Amino acid sequence: MRSRQAKVKKVSKDRKYNSELFTKFINNIMLDGKKNLAEKIFYNVVEEAANELKVEPVEFVNKAVDNVRPALELKSRRVGGSTYQVPVPVSPTRQETLVIRWFLDVSRKKKGDSFANILKKEMLAAHKGEGDVVKKKQDIEKMAEANKAFAHFRW
């Protein structure tokens, strides 16, 4: 276990839209330190999707992320030889982290199209409140609701 909490690192705002959320997305898309490529991919995805819906890119991403933010998640808790899945509320920073991870995992696992096109489709679907990422959120919240009986094991 940790002796104290981890320090929160400051995330700089991205160059184009001055948004910390965009920087987090770009840093998670980035592979092998190729940040320029990650920026090009993300900006193209966001701008094309925002143009389709005729909204601002920052507004588009914020709405897509807000539709996917989980309120509860499950954490394993061992009590008396049994392991229980205990529902725990999710902090806002963890919500953002989970949302970004889910978008990129779903986009990387799907085959048949480029990563950028799949990410764009997923973000458009999330903006509308549908798609694989929204389904993942609903599944997790459904499991948390089913395990509400173990909430008293929360630490």
Per-residue pLDDT tens, the chain, 155 aa: give them: 778 988 888 889 999 999 999 999 999 999 999 999 999 999 999 999 999 999 999 999 999 999 999 999 998 888 888 888 889 999 999 999 999 999 999 999 999 999 999 999 999 999 999 999 999 999 999 999 998 887 777 66
Structural domain includes residue 82:
yes
> In angstroms, rounded to a whole number, what is the distance separating the alpha carbons of residues 115 and 94?
24
Q: Would you tell me the crossing angle of helices 92-109 and 132-146 to the nearest 10 degrees?
A: 130
Q: ∠ at Cα 37 (36, 41), nearest 5°?
A: 120
Structural domain includes residue 3:
no
> In angstroms, rounded to a whole number, what is the distance separating the alpha carbons of residues 38 and 30?
5
- Domains in the chain, number: 1
Structural domain includes residue 4:
no
List strand residue ranges (DSSP E) for the chain, in order: 72-79, 82-89
Structural domain includes residue 29:
yes
Structural domain includes residue 8:
no
CB within 8 Å of 119: residues ≥ 6 apart: 41, 45, 103, 104, 107
Q: What is the CATH number of the domain that holds 94?
A: 1.10.455.10
CB within 8 Å of 45: residues ≥ 6 apart: 116, 119, 120, 123
Structural domain includes residue 69:
yes
Structural domain includes residue 1:
no
Structural domain includes residue 70:
yes
Domain limits for position 68? 20-153
Q: Is the pTM of this model over 0.75?
A: yes
